[in-house]
Amino acid sequence: MIDHFGINCSDWARSKEFYDRVLGVLGYTRQMDFDAAVGYGVEGKPSFWIADVTAGDASGPNREVHIAFAATGVEAVTAFYDAALELGAESLHAPRLWPEYHPGYYGAFVRDPDGNNVEAVFHGA
């Protein structure tokens, strides 16, 4: 059900040090590092993300949570997106391939009624 999720961190340097260490003892390592966001997991798949809260837009810190739900295919990603928009969700990113994440990453992002960044993702597109 949950593919990955992420939180924002107010003390970026301290948070990276903290999660490097506490997740490291559990066998998880940095799988991706985009400077303002780091993904932890195993075997090339980041399942837990931390992000620098100060790297958001100029309007101020964003404390949203990011949750990505696993989808069974590109059609399911599109259905998720369409259903969310019909319910009044704000579109963050329409369904598309995201090759900067990895080949075959197909996702759509919306903002839920509480302002969280919610995604449906399929990894085999």
Q: What is the predicted pLDDT for the residue at 57?
A: 56
Query: If you average pLDDT over every residue of the chain, what do you get?
Result: 91
- Residue 59 above 50 pLDDT? no
Mean pLDDT of 106-122: 91
Condensed to tens digits (0 to 9), the pLDDT of residues 60-97 reads 555 788 999 999 999 999 999 999 999 999 999 999 99
How far is it, in rounded angstroms, from Cα 14 to Cα 11?
Answer: 6
3-class SS shares of the chain: helix, strand, coil, % to 5: 25, 40, 35
Question: Which domains, and CATH codes, for the chain?
Answer: 1-54 (3.10.180.10), 64-125 (3.10.180.10)
32 in Cβ contact with 39 (< 8 Å): yes
User: Across the strands, what pairs with 2?
Assistant: 69
How far is it, in rounded angstroms, from Cα 121 to Cα 125?
Answer: 10
Q: What is the predicted pLDDT for the residue at 56?
A: 66
How far is it, in rounded angstroms, from Cα 71 to Cα 78?
Answer: 10
User: Structure pTM?
Assistant: 0.81
Query: Sorting pLDDT into bands at 50, 70 and 90, what band is 114?
Result: confident
